[in-house]
Structure 1
């Protein structure tokens, strides 16, 4: 009787995990598309501005919105690939368990910061939609898509931090159960 709910929970977790991976991947692809669109708007604007003295109006305002999507929508995917900048001068000398502990500490701090950004960003996005906030320049652009992208990307990163923390805790527990503590010198591994 106990195994049936466990199987159901496991399937539910796998389904949620797969859904999250697809959403995270889609957000990363969206950020890449925004980079492409930025290039497609900036290059003609520069050519028009410098060669023909005819800029494309609204390019700056549009790219401000794209920049928000580029930065925030790519964060979770980059974290899942361990692509963020990290300095390992001190922790490279430690064993795997201590390295995992330092990773967990960093991810808890990152989670706290981005959770605050998610909450604040969500409030700002809702407020921006409510008042119809616009970016005024040569052309009028709504601000809320950029704020939604920032809040959504931050929320995805928070979920990724929680996943990474859970995985590292499992690694520490499994190493403790096996009674294994290896370091790079013990295994003769060169990175």
Structure 2
């Protein structure tokens, strides 16, 4: 289980760093595009198309860090009242449902990515921009999320935390409040 946790951490870090690069691009490109548009009255060709892809990649490739930090938004009022054993079962059930939902999204996304790659799909806009690579990245992010959620469900069943304990809790805030408040 330790090796799987370490592999998930490494993959999550890689995908998270790619998401950060996409976010940095999105912020910089949008700022430059708005500035150029204000000065010249014309946008920079391709920024809009790349921004669309960057937003999607930020969400799906950043899922891993959110899962490892145990930072998904959730309501725990009912589970906090349950005995520990029932709470673990409830957590396992909810993570299993999340894994199933991501699996149901990953299947058609993978089929679409394979089709997009086969035809080298592109998007029309100011420029003709290839999008097949982004569809592959999104499908990979969904499959990774599915594996992470399934791992969290198994971890909950056996009573091990699936998240890495965070050391970045703001002053005056308990980890319980940060994770569940």
Q: Structure 1-normalised TM-score?
A: 0.78
The structural deviation recorded for 1:17 is 4.2
Aligned residue in 2 for 1:54: 42
Match of 2:121 among 112, 117, 133: 133
Q: d(CA) in 2 for partners of 1:67 and 1:136?
A: 18
Q: Pick from 119, 129, 135: which aligns with 1:147? A: 135
Q: Which residue in 1 is equivalent to 2:171?
A: none
| 1:71 corresponds to which of 40, 53, 59 | 59
Which residue number corresponds to residue 110 of structure 2? Answer: 122
Within 2, Cα distance between the matches of 1:52 and 1:132? Answer: 33
Cα 1:16–1:91 change in 2 (3 A) is closer
Structure exhibiting the larger radius of gyration computed from Cα positions:
1
- Residue 167 of structure 1: aligned partner: 155
Given the alignment, which residue of 76, 82, 86 partners 2:74?
A: 86
2:26 equivalent in structure 1: 38
- The unaligned stretches of length 5 or more in structure 2 are 161-175
Higher mean displacement: 17-26 or 74-83: 17-26
The root-mean-square deviation of aligned C-alpha atoms, in Å, is 1.8
Say how many residue pairs are matched. 162
